[in-house]
Structure 1
Amino acid sequence: MCEAFLEERDQRSPEALCSQHSEKLQRCRDSQTHTNHRFRPMDEVAQDLKELLQKSLQPFQEKLKLFEEVQVKFDQTAGHMKVQAQHTETQIKEQFKKLHQFLEEEEEARMAALREEEEQKRRMMEEKMEAVSREIAALSHTVRATEEELRAEDWRGCSAPCWRIHSCPQEL
């Protein structure tokens, strides 16, 4: 306000005029229409206005200080939140890394157990197949021997023990 007043005063003529009467301030002061007016030197009025402005400015300065403190706290909180988020992200990654490792180890263990089971079943099957092969070989040998014996024996010249097994045609 003071600066605006001083600026306006500087733009006027060297002698200040009353804004209401457009007369020289000295004459305006002496006029009967201004008998109730108080007149004081400009620098005193300017100083009073400065003090009033300073008092009016104080709540705004205090509010500004509070806002700056709040902003600092918000900045600190934002920084803390960022650090927490990074820490949590690191923990999550570590947990998932451990989980992946556990799952890989579990997969390897299960695959090894599967291969072991497969190997045991294969061996057992081979043993059974060998046993069946031995049985087949023994049975085949018995069948061949019996067939050869049947072909080699002459029923007409049957020996004595033959009648015990079957009826010999010679004895008929």
Structure 2
Amino acid sequence: MAFRCSFEDDLSCPVCCDVFINPVVLSCSHSICEACIRRFWESKRLKECPVCRRRASSDRPPLNLALRNLCDTFRQELSRGPSFEGEGLCGLHKEKLKLFCVDDQEPVCLVCRDSRKHANHRFCPVEEAAADNKEILKDALQHLEEQRRELELFKEFFDEDDELVKSNAQDAERLIQEEFEELHRFLRDEESSRISALREEEKRRRRTIKQELEETSGRISSLSSAIRDVEEQMNADDVSFLQNLKASLQRARISEPPPEPRPR
């Protein structure tokens, strides 16, 4: 407990003596609540530190984010304090929570009521606040119950619509599958018929090409033989060449008509 009090003192503003709210750090390294330093400067008309009286180097000192986060965490821990420090006790002052702050909507003790944090706030006994707020919550709860019943009716409609949409979709899917299966069957038959026709046409054209190749190869062979005979006669001695000149000329004058182009 002594450690907590010491730690709480370290987290308290030197001006308002409460736990820091949005603390700013001055150039002298002292931290003050943002609202407290503004009020202090307005009253003093001098921008100096309330602790060491050193002049501030900036009109807008930066937030001490690390200290602010630490103070927020400390408040959260204190708000859970009664569960282990005593039911109905103030986490800051360890006094009974006898009053309810209407402005902050939280139970407070008598010391909290007189603190600067709750200055000019409205208070009422916790019993009255609890009774009044229970009535408010009762009305709100009744409204929530009505909303839930309405939503449950809507949910039933949605469930029926969902089943109808699901059934219609299944019927449509089955119909689509049947139609496409019929289409696939037709396409498979058409594919088979066309491939058969294509293969027959391939065989016919290849037979024709084979015949033309054989004829062309025969003509090439005949011309090659004539060329060899003429070349041999041209390389023979003059008497032999002249003796066979007539036959050589006939061989050289063989004319093979060029093949006619075949459409592709």
Task: Give the shorter-chain TM-score range.
Answer: 0.3 to 0.5
TM-score by length of 1: 0.37
TM (norm. structure 2) is: 0.26
Q: Give 1 or 2: higher helix fraction.
A: 1
More strand by share: 2
